[in-house]
A and B are shown apart, each in its own frame.
Chain A
C-alpha cells in the first residue's frame, strides 16, 4: 500500500468511526422507540398523528416556519423554556416518534411551538390567563396577523383563497374581526394546505408524562 492508500484508509476510518458512534448507535437507542401506554387513561403516548396533520408537517417545513420557531423544550437547567410555560418537561426522542420531520428548528424569533395544542401563556404579558388555540384563531393569525393584537407575524395569506360567494356561503369562510372583514359578497376559504397546517399545529401537545421525561408535580 502506498502513501495514498494509507491516507485513504485513515480518511475512511475518521468517517466510519463517527458514523458508527453518532448514527448507528443512536439508531439502535432511539430509532425503534414505541409509544407507551398511559397507566391511568390507557392512552398511547405520543398519540398517533392523523394523515392531515402529517401533511401539515410538510407545509410547516416547506414554508420555513422552523426558521423562526423551534419545537423542543429544554430541561430546566438548559434554558427558560419551562419557566416560560412553553412546556412542562423536557422533550425527548419518543415525543417525535410519529413525525417524519421533527421540525426541531434552530431559531427563536417566535415562541417555541412544541406544545401549541396545550394551554399557551399570553405572549404580550407572560402572565395572566392562558389561552388555547383553535382552528379559527390559527387561521386568523396566518391570514391576517395584523388583526391579532401585538402580533408581528408574517402573513401566509397565500394559503387562503378569497372568492365570490355564489348562492349561499360555504360556511368554511374565516370570520375576521372588525376592521379586517372581507368585502361584501366574498369569503376567505382555507386551502387544503392551510387546514393541514392547522391540524398539525393543534396536534402538538407533549404534556403527557413519559418514564424518561416525568412531569414535575
Chain B
C-alpha cells in the first residue's frame, strides 16, 4: 500500500490527472446532496423518530407526548386501591363501607376530603342519611400527592358527582399543614378543622 500500485502505468499516466474534470464536479454534487439529505431526513439521529419526514431542525421532539387525563389515571388508582371496599359503582356496601357517589364528604370541602384520604377515617359517620361505623386506614404513605389528587378528581367526577378537580398542589399543602397528625379523623374532628384550603 505504500507505493503506487502499478509501475507500468506510472509512466504514461504521469501527465494524467487523477480523474477527469467532470467527475470532480459530479462527485462534488453527490457529496453536497448527501449532506443535505442526511440533514433533512435523519430525524435528529433520534431513536424515537421513525417517519423521516419529521422535521427536526432545532431541538428534537421525541414523538407526540402521551395524554395524561387525571380522571382516567384516577380511575385506575381507584380500581386498584378503593374499589374493593367502595365498589366500582361507588355505591359502597350498606352498613359497612359508605358510598362515594353523592356523598357529602366527597362533594364537600376540598380540604376535608383530602384530609380523609391522607389520614384515614374512623368512628361513627353518617353518609347520605345512613350511619356507618368503620375504619379506613390512612393513605398518606401508600399514595403520593399526584395519585391522591387523581383519585379524588376521579371520585368527584364519576357516578354523577360533579365537583371541582383536586390538584397535587392542594394535596401537598394539606399534607404540610397536617404533617404532625398521626391519628385518623373522626367526623367530629373534621367538623372542627378549617374547611378552607391552607393558603
Contact = CB atoms under 8 A, between A and B. Distances in A.
Interface of A: 2-4, 6-7, 26, 28-30, 39-40, 42, 75, 77-78, 90, 92-93, 210-214
A39 B63 contact: no
B48 interface: yes
Given A7-B1, A30-B47, A39-B69, A213 B53 contact: no
Contact of A213 (B47, B50, B68): B50
Given A4-B1, A6-B1, A211-B65, A40 B72 contact: yes
B197 interface: no
A92 B63 CA distance: 12
7 contacts: A3-B1, A39-B68, A39-B73, A42-B76, A211-B48, A212-B49, A214-B63
B1 A212 contact: no
Q: Which of B2, B48, B49 has the most CB of A within 10 A?
A: B48
Contacts, number: 48
B192 interface: no
Contacts of A40: 72
B123 interface: no
Contacts of A75: 50-53
Interface residues of B, number: 21
Majority secondary structure, B binding face: loop
A39 B66 CA distance: 8
Given A3-B1, A4-B1, A39-B69, A214 B64 contact: yes
Interface string B42-73: 00000111111100000000111111110011
A211 B72 contact: no
Interface string B141-184: 00000000000000000000000000000000000000000000
Interface string B67-92: 11100110010000000000000000
Contacts of A3: 1-3
B51 A90 contact: yes
Given A6-B1, A211-B65, 13 more contacts: A2-B2, A4-B1, A28-B47, A30-B47, A39-B66, A39-B67, A39-B72, A77-B53, A210-B63, A211-B48, A211-B63, A213-B63, A214-B64
A7 B2 CA distance: 9
A121 B186 CA distance: 61
B65 to A, nearest CB: 7
Given A3-B2, A211-B66, A214-B64, A92 B50 contact: yes
Contacts of A77: 51, 53
A42 B76 CA distance: 8
A75 B72 CA distance: 29
Nearest to A33: B47
B107 to A, nearest CB: 26
Nearest to B51: A75
Q: Which of B66, B67, B69, B73 has the most CB of A within 10 A?
A: B66
Nearest to B64: A214
B64 A211 contact: yes
Q: List 4 A-B pairs, minimum CB-CB distance, nearest first.
A: A29-B47, A212-B63, A3-B1, A75-B51
